[in-house]
């Protein structure tokens, strides 16, 4: 008997998904406004979050529910390590740290793993399905906006072990529908997925301040250069 969890998740998180897409940082990203320092802080947060999620899911490798959606070829920890090495250098581990919102996110993953591991399904769905669905678009935006012409810095978006992303997503959703859970658990997983979207939004909102400041500095520098150039031209004309 199908739980229809995939459909319930899609419908039940639609509002949260839309709200997350309308956070300033995300809207700027989608329009091609990506500031490298803000982006690398996001990658650092993702490293801690995905590492926690993948570690906790592995702990439940024999769990009747969690084990069914634990696909190792989805794991992002290694790809995030590659990106962090690119953005921070070889000693990236000594430089990165969790933001306040990122810390709350990691704590929540650890908490549910200990108390109600079934809810890890919500975090897997929210993170990985999103990565697979919009990953290639975001990868292209990041490459263009940050001039990543050599292909470095975007390993996070590359799923080398999943040749057919569309087929994999279909299989993933089918697996969700076949999980041995009741309606009450379905509802709790949907609620947790909405909470995950909320935690993502808090991370993006933290980065908005950094992005706005960086854009302000770039605009100021641009105006200053123009004025300086103009003054030089006037002086030459005199």
What mean pLDDT comes out for the span 57-74? 96
What's the pTM?
0.88
Q: What is the pLDDT of residues 95-114, one digit of tens each?
A: 999 999 999 999 999 999 99
Give the residue from 9, 86, 83 showing the smallest Cα distance to 50.
83
Residue reference for tokens 């570690």: 55
Task: Give dist(CA 16, CA 116) in Å, integer.
Answer: 22
Pull the structure tokens for residue 88. 């921070």
Q: What is the pLDDT of residues 112-151, one digit of tens each?
A: 999 999 999 999 999 999 999 888 889 999 999 999 978 7
Cβ atoms of 175 and 69 within 8 Å: the answer is yes
Fold of 5-211: Heme Oxygenase; Chain A (1.20.910)
């Amino acid at each position: 008997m199908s739980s229809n969890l995939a459909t319930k998740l899609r419908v039940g998180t639609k509002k949260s998904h839309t709200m997350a897409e309308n956070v300033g940082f995300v809207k700027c990203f989608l329009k091609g406004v990506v500031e490298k320092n803000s982006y690398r802080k996001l990658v650092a947060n993702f490293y801690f979050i995905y590492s926690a999620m993948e570690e906790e899911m592995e702990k439940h490798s024999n769990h009747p529910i969690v084990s069914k959606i634990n696909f190792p070829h989805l794991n992002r920890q290694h790809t995030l390590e590659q990106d962090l090495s690119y953005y921070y250098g070889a000693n990236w581990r000594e430089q990165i740290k969790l933001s306040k919102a990122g810390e709350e996110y990691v704590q929540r993953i650890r908490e549910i793993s200990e108390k109600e591991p079934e809810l890890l399904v919500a975090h897997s769905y929210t993170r990985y399905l999103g990565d697979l669905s919009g990953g290639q678009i975001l990868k292209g935006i990041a490459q263009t906006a940050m001039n990543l012409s050599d292909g470095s810095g975007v390993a996070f978006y590359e799923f080398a072990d999943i040749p057919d992303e569309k087929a994999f997503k279909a299989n993933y959703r089918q697996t969700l529908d076949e999980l041995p859970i009741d309606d009450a658990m379905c509802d709790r997983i949907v609620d947790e997925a909405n909470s995950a979207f909320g935690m993502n939004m808090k991370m993006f909102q933290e980065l908005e301040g950094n992005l706005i400041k960086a854009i302000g500095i770039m605009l100021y520098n641009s105006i200053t250069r123009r004025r300086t150039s103009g003054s030089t031209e006037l002086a030459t004309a005199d």
